[in-house]
Amino acid sequence: MSTIRRKLIVAITVSSLLAVIISYLILTFAINRQYEILNKSTLEARDKRVVQIFKDAYTKDDAYKWTESSGTSVIKEAQAQGFAVSLEDSKGTLIWQLPVETVIKELTAKSDNPSLITPEQFSTNKYPVTVSNSNVGYITIRQYIPLIMSKEQENFIFNLIVSVLISALLGSIVIIFLSFFLSKQLTDPIKSISSTSYLLSIGNLNAREDMETDIFEIEKLKQSINLLGGKLEKQNDLRKRLVSDISHELRNPLNVLQTNLEAMIDGVIPMSPERLQSLNNEVIRFGKLLGNLNILKEFESENLEFNMKPVNLKNICQDIYNNFFGYAQEKNITLSFEYYRKDNYLIMGDSHGLNQVIINLIHNALKFTQSRGKISIILRKDSKFTYLTIKDNGMGIPESDLANIFERFYRVDKSREEVEGSGIGLTIVKNIMERHRGKIEVASRLGVGTSFTLTFKNLPSDIRDISI
Ligand code: ADP
C-alpha cells in the first residue's frame, strides 16, 4: 500500500515531466512552422526584386528589349542562394537562363553531402514581366529547397529548444521540491488525526486533535474526530454513572431487606404477616425499579431504532385518556382531555415512544395529586408547533428542585417517600423527547400544581393522516 505523500509526489513528478515533453513538442512544431513562414516571405520579396532587375534591363537606355547579358547581374546572387533563373520573351522563346544543373553543381561544390541535391528539390515560380501595361516576357525562378537544414539553422533551432527545455526542467525540479513540502503539509495533519483516532480506538477517550490546518476537508475531519471523541467520552461517563447510580439505588432496599430478614432469623423482631408484606412491597418496588431501568436502557441506547412516521397525537392521547379514565375515577380525580376538533395534530414521531412519554407524565400527575384533584390533557397548535400539556392541581414541585427532576433517580423530597417511584420516569420522558427533537418544559408551584408542556414541530399540511 502506498502513502498519500508518495502518490502525490509521483503524480506531480509525472505531470511535470509530461509538461516538459509536451512543451518540447509544441515548441519544435511552432519553430518549424514559423521558420517556413519567414522563409516563404523572404523568397517572395527576393523574387519580386529579381523580376524588377529584368524589367530594368528591358527598359535600359530605352532599348525595350533583352540581350543575352540581361541576366548576368543576378548570377552571383542566384548561385549564392541556390536558385536557377530563365528569361523568356512574350512568346515563350528562351532568351537567357542560369540552368538548374549549373546551380546544382555550384551547390554540390559547397555541400558536405553532395549526393542529396536533385532537380526535384527545386520549386518553380513563373512571373510575367509587364512594361507599360503589356506583357513583354516571363521570368521563371527555380529555388532549391533543401531537405536538410543548414548547419546554422540547425544550431539556432537546437539552441533555442535546449534553452527552453532547460528552463522547463528547472521549473519541474522546483515544482517537485515544492510538492515534497506541500505533501508534507497535507499528510502531517492526516497522520496526526489517524493517531488520535487510534488512541480513541484503544480506549484513550480524552484524546483530542489540536493541530492547526487551513485545509477545509482536514479541518472538518478534525472536528468530526473531536466530536466523536466527545461523544464516546460522554457515553462512557454515562455508563459509569449508570453503574454507580444503580448500585447506590439498589443498596438501600437490599439493606432494608437484609437487616429485617436477619433480625427475624435471629428472633430480634417477630415474623408477622404485616412485616412480611412490607418486605414483599420492598421486593416489588425493587422489581419495578429494575423494570424502569430496563425501559431507560432501551430508550437511552442509540441503537434503538425509532420508527418515525406521521402520527396523530390526538389519537394517542385519546387512547391513553380512555385507559386512565377509570383509574382516575377510582382515585376520585377528574381526568379531562381538551382539543379543537377542527385541528389535526399530526407530528412526526414514534408512537411507542410517545405513548411512553404521555403515560409517564399522567402517571406522575395521578401519583402526586390528591383525591378531588383535577388532571387535564390539553392539545393545541399554532402555525408551526403542536403543544401537549399535562396539568394537575397536585402537590407541585419546589422551585429549587425543578432543574433536577429530569435527572436519573432524582426524587423531590423524603416526605414523598411513601409515594411509589424510582426517579426514572422523567429521565425516560426527556430522552424520548430529545430523540423527537421536541421540547419539554415544566411549570410548577408548591401546593398549587404542576404542568408539563411538550412541543413538537408540525408536519407540513400536505402530508395526509396515515397514522393510527
Ligand atoms: P418517579 O418515579 O419518582 O415519579 P420521575 O422521574 O417520574 O420519578 O419524577 C421525578 C420526581 O419529580 C418525582 O419523584 C416527583 O417528586 C417529581 N414530580 C414529577 N411529576 C410531578 C408532578 N406531576 N407533581 C409533583 N411532583 C412531580
Q: In a 3-state reduction of DSSP, which class is residue 334?
A: strand
Closest residue by Cα to residue 446 from 403, 414, 383, 398: 398
Distance 13 CA to ligand 1 centre (A): 70
For the record, the C-alpha cell of 159 comes out as 539552441
Least confident segment among 78-82, 122-126, 275-279, 462-466? 462-466
How many Cβ atoms sit within 10 Å of the Cβ of residue 442? Answer: 15
352-388 pLDDT per residue, tens: 899 999 999 999 999 999 999 999 999 999 999 999 9
Closest residue by Cα to residue 349 from 458, 461, 425: 458
Output the DSSP codes for 72-121.
Answer: HHHHHHHHHHTEEEEEEETT--EEEEE-HHHHHHHHHHH-SSGGG--GGG
362 lines ligand 1 (CB under 6 A): no
Distance between CA atoms of residues 271 and 265, nearest Å: 9
Q: In a 3-state reduction of DSSP, which class is residue 135?
A: strand
Distance between CA atoms of residues 151 and 143, nearest Å: 19
396 CA: nearest ligand 1 atom: 25
Residue 468 pLDDT more than 50? no
For ligand 1, atom 16, the nearest C-alpha belongs to 412
Least confident segment among 121-125, 142-146, 455-459? 142-146
416 CA: nearest ligand 1 atom: 16
449 lines ligand 1 (CB under 6 A): no
Choose which residue among 391, 401, 405, 408 to substitute to test ligand 1 binding: the one with the highest number of ligand atoms within 8 A of its C-beta. Answer: 405
Residue 361's Cβ-side half-sphere holds a number of Cα atoms within 13 Å equal to 30
Distance between CA atoms of residues 456 and 388, nearest Å: 8
For ligand 1, atom 4, the nearest C-alpha belongs to 421
**Residue-level pLDDT at 342:** 87
Distance 411 CA to ligand 1 centre (A): 6
At residue 177, what is the residue type?
Answer: F
Which residues touch 147 (CB under 8 Å, ≥6 apart)?
Answer: 116, 121
Least confident segment among 42-51, 203-212, 279-288? 279-288
Out of 36-40, 141-145, 408-412, 463-467, give the one with best mean pLDDT.
141-145
Please report which confidence band the pLDDT of residue 185 belongs to, taking 50, 70 and 90 as the band edges.
confident
Output the DSSP codes for 143-190.
Answer: EE--SS--HHHHHHHHHHHHHHHHHHHHHHHHHHHHHHHHHHHHHHHH
363 lines ligand 1 (CB under 6 A): no
| Cross-strand bridge partners of residue 443 | 451
Residue 374, φ and ψ in degrees, nearest 5:
-140, 135
Distance 423 CA to ligand 1 centre (A): 7
411 lines ligand 1 (CB under 6 A): yes
Distance between CA atoms of residues 161 and 421, nearest Å: 92
**Residue-level pLDDT at 256:** 80
Distance 226 CA to ligand 1 centre (A): 36
| Cross-strand bridge partners of residue 406 | none
Which residues touch 129 (CB under 8 Å, ≥6 apart)?
Answer: 51, 54, 55, 58, 135, 136, 137, 138, 139
Percent of the chain with pLDDT over 90: 40
Higher-pLDDT residue of 418 and 25 is 25
Question: Average pLDDT of 157-172?
Answer: 86
Higher-pLDDT residue of 448 and 275 is 448
**Residue-level pLDDT at 70:** 81
Higher-pLDDT residue of 462 and 96 is 96
**Residue-level pLDDT at 298:** 77
Question: Average pLDDT of 194-222?
Answer: 91
416 lines ligand 1 (CB under 6 A): yes
**Residue-level pLDDT at 114:** 56
Residue 40 pLDDT more than 90? no
392 lines ligand 1 (CB under 6 A): yes
Higher-pLDDT residue of 127 and 164 is 127
DSSP state letter for 195: H
For ligand 1, atom 17, the nearest C-alpha belongs to 412
Distance between CA atoms of residues 84 and 105, nearest Å: 11
Asked if 216 contacts 252 with a C-beta cutoff of 8 angstroms, the reply is: no
Residue 122 pLDDT more than 50? yes
Q: In a 3-state reduction of DSSP, which class is residue 446?
A: coil
Least confident segment among 54-58, 259-263, 446-450, 463-467? 463-467
410 lines ligand 1 (CB under 6 A): yes
Higher-pLDDT residue of 28 and 93 is 93
Least confident segment among 199-208, 273-282, 377-386? 273-282
Out of 108-112, 266-270, 452-456, give the one with best mean pLDDT.
452-456
Distance between CA atoms of residues 164 and 170, nearest Å: 10
Distance between CA atoms of residues 122 and 4, nearest Å: 60
Cα–Cα separations (whole angstroms), residue 247 to 240, 250, 372, 376, 424: 11, 5, 38, 37, 15
Distance between CA atoms of residues 261 and 269, nearest Å: 9
Please report which confidence band the pLDDT of residue 418 belongs to, taking 50, 70 and 90 as the band edges.
low
**Rg of the chain's alpha carbons, rounded to an integer?**
52
369 CA: nearest ligand 1 atom: 24
Terminal Cα-to-Cα distance of the chain (whole angstroms): 55
Distance 388 CA to ligand 1 centre (A): 18
452 CA: nearest ligand 1 atom: 23
Distance between CA atoms of residues 291 and 297, nearest Å: 10
- What's the whole-number average pLDDT of the chain? 86
Asked if 25 contacts 207 with a C-beta cutoff of 8 angstroms, the reply is: no
For ligand 1, atom 19, the nearest C-alpha belongs to 364
Residue 414 pLDDT more than 60? no
421 CA: nearest ligand 1 atom: 2
Distance 405 CA to ligand 1 centre (A): 7
Cα–Cα separations (whole angstroms), residue 385 to 344, 347, 458: 12, 9, 5
**Residue-level pLDDT at 295:** 79
Asked if 288 contacts 330 with a C-beta cutoff of 8 angstroms, the reply is: no
423 CA: nearest ligand 1 atom: 8
For ligand 1, atom 20, the nearest C-alpha belongs to 364
